[in-house]
Amino acid sequence: MANIHIPPGWRIRERDATPESAYLNRREFVKAAGAGTILAASAAACGAEGRAQTQDGRGPLDNIPDTPTASLYPEAVRDERFTIGDRHAAMSEEEVVATYNNFYEFGTDKGGVWRNVEPFEARPWELEIAGLVDNPGAFDLVELERAFPLEERIYRHRCVEAWSIVLPWIGFPLRSLLDRAGIQNRAKFVNFITFNRPEQAVGIRTQTWYRWPYYESIRIDEAMNELAFVVTGMYGHPLQKQNGAPVRIHLPWKYGYKSPKSIVLIEVTDRPGTTFWNDLQPAEYGFYSNVDPDVPHPRWSQATERIVGPDNRVPTLPFNGYGEWVADMYDGHVTPPGDVPHAS
């Protein structure tokens, strides 16, 4: 057992792990940014890598699995309630979103995930709904894409590693799916389980210290919140494999790891599920994990975030700026008492 190596959790670049005190004096901060000491771009993660190709000529935007529902995506109607917001100057470029990924099933190198997804057979796909629901079952994803009108929502995405992107996601409310499943009165939590195919995913195959498959859990009121979104597409087309094809969750007020990719099971229960990162490193990754600028990760500040692409740094907002939708679920707290990491 002594030889088992538990690697660190989500990683940030050394130069981004600036201690909280570095952000206290804004004028100093701006000066530092002007001098280029903080905002160095990562060419490997962004544009330069994005133009690369694999040996078989596949690029980062060539990883959309074929589906008979593809023609529905350009027709998705944008929900105008959701906007880019004040901090991001523009939508993230798709090439950035497709070449800067956290998807440990395909390795931990963000710029390399898109290269590794080729063996992943992401269509056809069944999504099972189980537990405390009146209509459990395994559903063909195509059936669900046709059953619910696809809508486009511009959501910001904030990773616990203190970077963010903003993009047009396509899908349908998680609430619509749960309403159709018919949740029972005893339901209190919703658990998500991701695919587990070592033969198709190099990260599952080689990183045996992780407890595959990836799993997550949220409260039922969080799952029924207006913002909770089942994502099947982005930028007017079905999801790229590296972004969680063919179906993932997005909860824009929480850190990105609460939004599991390539899910196969949604289970409604009366007790909280465990979560992949909380099980692995309980002192670093909480159950709620609402975006909270005042609660640092033990190894870095959450007060600001780097916008991937332009690579400028902006203040982080409580609940990632979605407080008007979600704050009332947490009794006045952003990080509920007892969640970790917590302010000392």
Name residues contacting ligand MTE, limited to 285-344 (CB under 6 A). Answer: none
Q: Using the rule CB under 6 A, which residue among 259, 275, 301, 316 binds ligand MTE?
A: 259
Q: Using the rule CB under 6 A, which residue among 159, 178, 223, 266 binds ligand MTE?
A: 159
- DSSP letter string over 64-81? PPP-TTGGGGGGPEE-TT
Give the nearer residue to ligand MTE in terms of CB position, either 88 or 183: 88
Parallel, antiparallel, or unpaired for β 77-78 and 151-158? parallel
Name residues contacting ligand MTE, limited to 134-153 (CB under 6 A). Answer: none
Q: Using the rule CB under 6 A, which residue among 114, 214, 285, 330 binds ligand MTE?
A: 214
256 is a site residue for ligand MTE (CB under 6 A): yes
243 is a site residue for ligand MTE (CB under 6 A): yes
Q: Could you tell me which of 198, 220, 218, 194 has the C-alpha nearest to residue 207?
A: 198
104 is a site residue for ligand MTE (CB under 6 A): yes
Choose the stretch contacting ligand MTE; rule: CB under 6 A; options: 42-50, 72-80, 101-109, 145-153. Answer: 101-109
The contact pattern for ligand MTE, residues 33-62, with x = CB under 6 A and - = no contact, is: ------------------------------
Token pair of 338 as six digits:
């007892």
Q: Classify residue 225 as left (phi > 0), alpha (psi -120 to 50) or beta.
A: beta
Give the nearer residue to ligand MTE in terms of CB position, either 101 or 301: 101
Query: What does residue 97 show for φ and ψ, rounded to 5 degrees?
Result: -65, -30
Give the nearer residue to ligand MTE in terms of CB position, either 177 or 201: 201
Token pair of 135 as six digits:
């209509």
Parallel, antiparallel, or unpaired for β 263-269 and 126-131? parallel
**Residues contacting residue 221 through CB under 8 Å, at least 6 positions apart:** 329
Give the nearer residue to ligand MTE in terms of CB position, either 103 or 189: 103
Binding residues for ligand MTE, rule CB under 6 A, total 18
Please identify the residue of the shown chain whose CB is closest to the bound ligand MTE. 256
125 is a site residue for ligand MTE (CB under 6 A): no
Provide, rounded to whole angstroms, the least separation between the CB of residue 25 and ligand MTE.
Answer: 29
169 is a site residue for ligand MTE (CB under 6 A): no
Give the nearer residue to ligand MTE in terms of CB position, either 132 or 255: 255
Residue 46 near residue 13, CB atoms below 8 Å: no
Q: Classify residue 193 as left (phi > 0), alpha (psi -120 to 50) or beta.
A: beta
229 is a site residue for ligand MTE (CB under 6 A): no
Q: Using the rule CB under 6 A, which residue among 67, 194, 289, 335 binds ligand MTE?
A: 194
The residue behind tokens 């800067």 is 100
SS3 242: helix
What are residue 192's DSSP bridge partners? Answer: 216, 266
How many angstroms separate the CA atoms of 230 and 262, rounded? 11
Provide, rounded to whole angstroms, the least separation between the CB of residue 101 and ligand MTE.
Answer: 3
Residue type, 331: D
Q: Could you tell me which of 164, 141, 181 has the C-alpha nearest to residue 263?
A: 141
241 is a site residue for ligand MTE (CB under 6 A): no
SS3 336: coil
Give the nearer residue to ligand MTE in terms of CB position, either 37 or 274: 274
Q: Which residues bind ligand MTE (CB under 6 A)?
A: 10, 101-105, 157, 159, 194, 214, 243-244, 256-257, 259-262
